[in-house]
Amino acid sequence: FFGINNLFGIDYLKKNADMSGTLADHDIYSIFSEFKFRPTLNTNLEVSGRREYDNNYGNFDTGRLQINQSFFNNMIIRASIGTGYRTPTPYELYSSYGNTNLKPETSITYDLGSEFKFKEDSTNLYLGVYETRVEDIITYASSKYRQSTGNLKSNGAEIRFKTRLFDNLTTGANYTKTNAKENDGDSIKLIPKDKLILFANFNPLAKLNINTSYHLQNKAKDPKYNELPVYRSLNVNTNYLLKGNSKIFLKIENLL
């Protein structure tokens, strides 16, 4: 409408849980919208909003604002801010360790980054930083899930590199460094400090696509704050396009 690209949608989610003989039904109705427009020739602006009605917790409004600004022919600056929330899981509510008085967690996230394009768009480099703050944290203490008055704060940096070596071979890497702390100084559980992804996309035939990725992460803490071992995983995803609009695929995670 009026030169603005837009999207509208509705969503319905139903959850059923049976925890230790306690039955629980959870219904969520949502309506969402997204608008994309260009205030200037080199500026792209995206605004999105979502309203959810939860039969257990009432209404929640979340949104996101993102701006992309182009400079010259090979540089883009990106910035965004967004809000979110997470309702308690059925296990946190109704298990033998559960607490039916728990309320949803809320969060806000900021990020800022820049993307550079080289060699006629065959090579891309992205550099970015981000910060997330979570309030009303659900924690586990004294054999029971509880609502904390503290907060979680994580920030970090990301580097992404992608290049096309040949017409049918693209490869690259993604490295993320995360510093995540609770308000008492403890590291956030199950969040790795270092995460590296190496990937390659190969098209030996016009209809055949082979994706491989190698994941490595370390320095994550378990729920008792013990450091977990280094995690490595090699994944393969292959698909072949058949006649018309159908394809077959083979996907293997943790190949080794």
**Distance between alpha carbon 190 and the CA centroid of its chain, in Å?**
15
**pLDDT score for 73:** 83
Residue 252's SS3 state is strand
Residue 93's SS3 state is helix
> What predicted TM-score, i.e. pTM, was given to this entire model?
0.75
Output 85 or 222, whichever has higher pLDDT.
Answer: 85
Cα distances (Å, whole numbers) of residue 73 to 54, 117, 241 = 46, 8, 34
Strand 123-135 relative to strand 138-141, pairing: unpaired
User: How far apart are alpha carbons 63 and 31 in whole angstroms?
Assistant: 12
Are 75 and 94 contacting, i.e. CB atoms less than 8 angstroms apart?
A: no
* 153-197: pLDDT as tens digits: 899 999 999 999 998 999 999 999 999 877 766 677 778 899 999
User: How far apart are alpha carbons 161 and 77 in whole angstroms?
Assistant: 16
Average pLDDT over residues 63-75: 93
User: In 3D, which of 182, 130, 127 has the Cα closest to residue 153?
Assistant: 182
Sign of the Cα torsion 94, 95, 98, 102 reads negative
Q: For residue 55, how many other CB atoms are within 10 A of its CB?
A: 11
Question: Does residue 24 surpass a pLDDT of 80?
Answer: no
- Confidence band, pLDDT 50/70/90 cuts, at residue 21: low
**pLDDT score for 182:** 74
User: How far apart are alpha carbons 21 and 36 in whole angstroms?
Assistant: 48
Q: For residue 141, how many other CB atoms are within 10 A of its CB?
A: 8
**7 exposure class (CB count in 10 Å sphere: 0-12, 13-18, 19+):** exposed
